[in-house]
Structure 1
Amino acid sequence: MLWNVDLTLVDFTIITREAYAEAFRRVIGRPMVRPAPAMGRPESEIIFETLAINGVVAEDGHLPRFAEALTAAFAARRDRLAKEGRAMLGALDALKAVARIDGVVQSVLTGSLKDNAVLKLAAFGFDRYLDVEIGGYGEEVYPKATLLQVAQGRAARKYGHAFSAADTVLIGDSVRDVQAARIGGASMIAVASGRSTAGELSQAGADVVLPDLSDPAEVVAAVTRLTGPPAA
C-alpha cells in the first residue's frame, strides 16, 4: 500500500513555498520570483522547472545543491509543521484502518524529498503506520511510475514477497498519481482532496475515486476489493 503524501495525507503548502524561496536564494544568490507548480511531480522535476521559470540555466550541480538546501530549509521549520500545516480529513484514521488489514505493508510514493516527507508525516504521527524505508521519493531522478516500481522492489527485498499490480495499491490525489499507477503497475484509489477534481481522476483511469479519507471503512473496502481474488 503506497500513499502519496502532500494533499493526500498532509498539507504544508505555505511552509513548502517558504522553504523553496530560501533554498533558491541560498543556491542561486537572488530571490525567487515564483516556484513551479507541484502537480504530483517528483521534487527533482519541480526544482529544474523552478530554475527555468526563474531564468536560471540548469547546471550539473544545481539539483543536489538545491535538494540539500531545501532539506535544510524545511528542517529549520520543523517546529512549525504541526501548528501551521494540516492533516487531511480522515488521514490518520484511514492509515490506522488499513494497518489492520492482514498482511498489509504501508509506505509512501511521494514527490517530496525523503527527509522532508518523513518530517511531514511525523508532525501528525503518521510515520508510525508507514515503513518509510521502502518508499519512493523525489530526490530519485525517475518518473513517478518508475518510483512505484522502485518501491515494489525495496518492499520485495525486505519482506520476501514479489509485489505486483495484483497486490499493490496507490492512494493519491493527482492525475499524475493515477498515471503513475497505470504505468507502474498498481491499482489506484484517487482522493479528490487535492487540485484534481473527481471527474479528472476518474477520466485518468482511477479504479476508485473518493471525495476524501473521512470514511476509513470505505478506504478499507476499496483496498480489499482491489487486492482480493478476482470475481468468479
Structure 2
Amino acid sequence: MLWNIDLTLVDVTIVTRDAYADAFRQVTGRPLVKLAPAMGRPDSEIIFETLAINGIVTGDDHLPRFIDALARSFAARRKRLNKDGQVMPGAKEALKAVARLDGVVQSVLTGTIKSNAALKLNAFGLDKYVDVEVGGYGEEVYPKATLLQVAQGRVKALYGFRCDGANTVLIGDSARDVQAARIAGASMIAVASGRSTATELHEAGADIVLPDLTDAPALVAAVAHLTTPMDRKAG
C-alpha cells in the first residue's frame, strides 16, 4: 500500500509555501513572487517551474541547492505543522485499519522530499504506520509512475515480497496519482479530498473513488476488492 501524503493524509499547505519562499530566497537572493502549483507533482518539478516562472536561469546546481534549502526551511518550521496544518479527516484511522490486514506493508509515494515527508507524518503521529525507507519521494527525478516501480523494488528488496501491479494499491487525491498508478499497472483508490473532483478522478481511471477517508471499513473493503488474500499475504 502506497499513500500520497499532501491532501490525502495531511494538509500543511501554509507551512510548505512559507518554506518554499524561504528556500527560494536562500538560493536566489530574491523574494519569491509566484510558486508553481503542486497538482500532484514532485518537489523537483515544482522547483524547476518555480525558478523558471520567476525568471531564474537554472544551472546544474540549482536543484540540489534548492532541495537542501527546502529541507532546512521546512525543518525550521516543524513546530508549526500542528498549529497551521491538520491531519485529513479519518487518515489515522484509515492507516490503522489497513495496517491490520495480513501481510500489508504501508509506505508513501509522494512528491515531497523524504526529510519533509517524514516530518509531516511524524507531526500527526502517522509515521508509526508506514515504512518510510521503502517509499518514493520528490527529490528522486523520476516520473511518478516510475517512482512507484522504484518503491515496489525497495519493498521487494527489504521484505522479500513479490511486489508488482497485482498486489500494489496506491491511495491518492490527484488525477496525476491516478495516471501514475495506471501507467505502473497498480490499483488505484482515489480520495476526493484534494483539488481533483470525484468526476475527474473517475475520468482519470481510478478503480475506486471515495469522498474522504472517514469510512475506514469502506477503505478496507476497497483494498480487499482490488487484491486477493494470496496477494495480501505475499505483500
TM superposition score normalised by structure 2: 0.97
Q: What amino acid sits opposite 1:133 in the alignment?
A: E
Shift of 1:57: 1.1
Matching residue of 1:78: 78
User: Distance in 2 between the 1:94 and 1:145 partners?
Assistant: 24
Residue of structure 2 in register with 1:146 after alignment: 146
Please give the alpha-carbon distance, in whole angstroms, between the structure 2 residues aligned to 1:121 and 1:229: 28
Q: Could you tell me how far apart the structure 2 residues matched to 1:116 and 1:185 are?
A: 28
Runs ≥4 in structure 1, deviation > 6 angstroms? Answer: none
Is the contact between residue 153 and residue 162 of structure 1 (CA under 8 Å) also seen in structure 2? no
Partner of 2:88: 88
Match of 1:22 in 2: 22
Deviation at 1:84, TM superposition (A): 1.2
* Alpha-carbon distance, 1:58 to partner: 1.2
Per mean C-alpha deviation after superposition, the further-off stretch among 221-230 and 167-176 is 221-230
Q: Is it true that 1:169 corresponds to 2:165 in the alignment?
A: no
* Matched-pair contact (CA < 8 Å) for 1:109–1:151: yes
The structural deviation recorded for 1:165 is 0.9
Q: CA deviation at 1:185?
A: 2.0
The Cα shift of 1:92 comes to 0.2
CA deviation vs aligned residue, 1:156-207 (integer Å, no higher than 9, x gap):
0011012111100000000000000001121000000000000000000000
Cα distance per residue 1:49-108 (max 9 Å; x no partner): 000010111110000000000000000001111121100010000000000001100000
Q: CA RMSD in A?
A: 0.9
Distance in 1 of aligned mates of 2:97 and 2:28: 45
The 3-state SS of whatever aligns with 2:209 is: strand
**Aligned-partner SS, 1:147:** helix
Partner residue of 1:122?
122
Counterpart amino acid of residue 63 in structure 2: L
Match in the other structure for 2:233: none
Q: What is the SS of the residue equivalent to 2:95?
A: helix
- Secondary structure of 2:200's counterpart equals helix
The aligned length equals 230
Letter in 1 for 2:44: S
Post-superposition shift, 1:229? Answer: 6.6
Q: Secondary structure of the equivalent of 1:141?
A: coil
Amino acid at match of 2:126: F
Distance 1:221 1:89, change over 3 A: same
Determine whether 1:112 maps to 2:120.
Answer: no
Find the counterpart in structure 2 of residue 61 from structure 1: 61
CA distance in 2, matches of 1:212, 1:117: 21
Alpha-carbon distance in structure 2 between the residues aligned to 1:119 and 1:92: 15
Q: Which amino acid aligns with 1:183?
A: I
In structure 2, what is the Cα distance between the partners aligned to 1:24 and 1:229?
A: 48
SS of 1:49's partner is helix
SS at match of 2:111: coil
Per mean C-alpha deviation after superposition, the further-off stretch among 161-170 and 199-208 is 161-170
Q: Name 2:37's counterpart in structure 1.
A: 37
The one-letter code of the counterpart of 1:186 is A
